[in-house]
Amino acid sequence: MTKLNQIKTIAILTGGGDAPGLNAVIRAAVRTALGRGLTVWGIKNGFGGMVENKMMQLTDESVAGILPRGGTILGTTNRDNPFNYPQTQAGAVIYTDMSARALNNLRQAGIEALIVIGGDGTIKIAGEFHQLGLPVVAVPKTIDNDIPVTERTFGFDTAVGVATDALDRLHTTAESHHRVMVLEVMGRYAGWIALHAGMAGGADCILIPEIPFNTGSVIAKIKERQQRGRQFSLIVIAEGAHALGGEISIARIVEGSHEKVRLGGIGEKLAREIEELTGMESRCTVLGHVQRGGTPTAFDRVLSTRYGVAAAQSVLAGHFGIMVSLQKNRIIRVPIADIAGKANNITPEDELLLAGRAIGVCFGD
């Protein structure tokens, strides 16, 4: 960790996909920094704005009223990497290293340190800039809660809330109409949203990327419920979940012949399989982007504020090359280097997973 004092001017940047709470982090970092006499710039549209020199000064006025708003006032993109920057020349896109230009832009503006709010990819780039001498503090951002060494990321609680609301709505229809309702939620590599929303919404099966599922187990669960007089079932499935072996066959054939067409995802495939194997009407809903926008929950606003304050305080303390992180419910600082190559997945010993097993939830295994 680098130590620097006497920093007078900083910038903030948001990168990657949307997550409710981004504005709350910005507000907290800006207000903390301004309160200690710093000048704060916002870099627009992620790392692209650093290359293109698009900035706006952030004052107390800039961050007024943004706490409850989704999105980011700075704009963002999840495409531009200054170390491999796309440029259109003579009709073709070529990629060049524009990191020196990006650094120079900051230098020209008198910016001495950078707070970067983003996911895996964004933080990796932040680490590379740190290696080049730019003092950097990172704030982890992911809806999926899959960033390592931090227990809970902002936006996750909101996503879980949206998915749970959806489950509550599907529940009444499933029950009245004797249906199997499948809800596909976000989570490519980690099943945190599915696990939490499934437990909160009373799902009968929760299928996550960490546990390849056996369609037979899901069918058995549905039938066991039928025998107890429950003529419906609720299933939550993470978009990244996958079946063991060759069970979801109908879908695979289609997929094989049209690989480039985005067909229905795993949830749709599972619903079709269930309908075929049980004869019960089955429907799939894919929540998609609704999970990652809009006003954050109170929990996420508080968590975002804590992250934002902690990031600014790390700058003020002269600690750089770190990511602020939540561990055992406290915000700590961990070296950016420490998170490389790690993941945050649900383990077989996860307490909530075990609680699910205790109350009879089927995890497809």
Which residues are tagged catalytic? 144
Binding site, annotated residues for ATP: 17, 79-80, 119-122
In terms of CB distance, is 39 or 134 closer to a second copy? Answer: 39
In terms of CB distance, is 44 or 130 closer to a second copy? Answer: 44
Our finding on whether 358 is near a second copy (CB under 8 A) is yes
Q: How far is CA 130 from CA 5, 166, 273, 276, 279, in A?
A: 16, 42, 50, 55, 58
User: What is the rounded CA–CA span in Å between residue 309 and residue 98?
Assistant: 31
Q: φ, ψ for residue 15 (rounded to 5)?
A: -130, 160
Our finding on whether 301 is near a second copy (CB under 8 A) is yes
Site for a second copy in 66-85 (CB under 8 A): 67-72, 75-78
User: What is the rounded CA–CA span in Å between residue 97 and residue 86?
Assistant: 9
Chain centroid offset of residue 187 CA: 8
Smallest gap from Cβ 288 to a second copy, in A, equals: 4
Binding site, annotated residues for Mg(2+): 120
Binding a second copy (rule: CB under 8 A), the pick from 130, 196, 319, 333 is 196
Our finding on whether 50 is near a second copy (CB under 8 A) is no
Q: What angle do CA 338, 307, 22 make, to 5 degrees?
A: 105
Per-residue interface string for the shown chain with a second copy, residues 248-267, x marking contact by CB under 8 A: ------x--xx--xxxx---
Our finding on whether 181 is near a second copy (CB under 8 A) is yes
Our finding on whether 1 is near a second copy (CB under 8 A) is no
Smallest gap from Cβ 357 to a second copy, in A, equals: 9
- Asked if residue 13 lies in contact with residue 49, where contact means CB atoms within 8 angstroms, the answer is yes
In terms of CB distance, is 134 or 282 closer to a second copy? Answer: 282
Our finding on whether 142 is near a second copy (CB under 8 A) is no
Q: Which two tokens stand for residue 345?
A: 């997945």
Q: How far is CA 275 from CA 208, 278, 339, 365, in A?
A: 21, 5, 43, 20
